[in-house]
Amino acid sequence: MSEPASPLWAEARNALSKAFPQLYELEPGGPLALDLGHDGWLLEIKPEGKLLCQYGVAMEDVMSLMSDGTPEDLGTDEVAKQAKYFIQPAVSKFRPLLLQSGFSEQTDMNDEYVAVSFERAVDFHNLSKVQDLMRWCCRQIGGAA
């Protein structure tokens, strides 16, 4: 269950979409996201006032890597363990920087994917600060402004 959307979300969403034209909707009226470079990192801004930098892998991709093309029946736990192992090098490259910058780390897992998310609360009353933080993430992780 997610938190309720900020009453400032519609205004913030409009302003952020103009400032970052590469943002796209994850669901109508919901979070906005943008890809941070070619590595698979994703930046997501949520209606409840959270900014996420996340890196993940689809369970299906991990299963195909593990089974090497054979229809082996692999347990979800084993696949998830391998997925975590697979994403660790990319995540550990940015973990210290993100944690020092006030983000908190969590691992999200379901039948479709395993992702490590770094989350930080943002204040839609101060959109220039939100935009600065988004630009900082783009520069640090995506290598672009």
- pTM for the whole structure: 0.85
Helices (H), 5-143: 9-19, 59-67, 76-100, 127-137
Query: What totals of helices (H) and strands (E) does the chain contain, helices first?
Result: 4, 6
Q: Fold for domain 9-142?
A: Aspartate Aminotransferase, domain 1 (3.90.1150)
Sheet containing 113-121: give its strands across: 24-25, 32-36, 41-46, 50-58, 113-121, 104-109
Please check the confidence at residue 1 and state whether its pLDDT lies above 50. no
For residue 27, CA distances in Å to 47, 79, 141 come to 11, 27, 24
Structural contact between residues 120 and 51, judged by C-beta atoms closer than 8 angstroms: yes
Domain range list for the chain? 9-142
Q: What is the pLDDT of residues 75-111, one digit of tens each?
A: 777 777 788 888 888 899 999 999 999 999 999 888 8
